[in-house]
Amino acid sequence: MGRRFSREIAMKLLYQMQIQPDNKEEQLKEALEKYSFSQKDKEYIEDVVKGVLNNLDKIDKIIEERSIGWKLNRIPKVDLAILRLGAYEILFRDDIPYTVTINEAVELAKKYSTEDSGAFINGIFSNIPKGIGLIE
């Protein structure tokens, strides 16, 4: 199905887990069984979803530091799911170029969120690599 679709499913799972925080393992399992993912795509989704959940405090701190004037609880839940997914990729997935992550996050925001969300997400992500020393 491809990385883009896998990323979309991972974002939807992260969103769903904000709304329904119980049985996260079961939610992940059901999502992986629902579609005919390749093993590589299953591994990506599982890594990203579990990675975000296991590093949530660090990821949220980075997002909040860069979303000047916004507290996490004021960011729309869809945007927050996209931000968490992208931040995880930037911080922990060396195999995915940060420009790809930013572009994909903006595309997800355009598809699933408000008219202004793409620019908001782009602004936050464009500061994350610089802020953690991945680029000069």
Instruction: Return the percentage of the chain with pLDDT > 70, whole number.
Output: 94
Residues 6+ apart with CB under 8 A from 1: 35, 36, 37, 38, 41
Model pLDDT, residue 127: 79
Q: Whole-number mean pLDDT of the chain?
A: 92
Q: Report yes or no: 127 and 87 within 8 Å, Cβ to Cβ.
A: no
Backbone Cα Rg of the chain: 14
Candidates 39, 125, 134; CA nearest to 85 is 125
Name the band, by pLDDT with cuts 50, 70 and 90, for residue 136.
Answer: very low
**Assigned fold of 3-131:** N-utilizing Substance Protein B Homolog; Chain A (1.10.940)
Strand residue runs (E) in 25-120: none
Residues 6+ apart with CB under 8 A from 127: 66
Model pLDDT, residue 98: 85
pTM of the full predicted structure? 0.92
Tens of pLDDT, residue by residue over 12-45, are 999 999 999 999 999 999 999 999 899 999 999 9
Tens of pLDDT, residue by residue over 38-87, are 999 999 999 999 999 999 999 999 999 988 888 999 999 999 999 999 99
Q: Could you tell me the CA-to-CA distances from 107 to 100, 114, 123, 136 in Å, in that order?
A: 11, 12, 14, 25
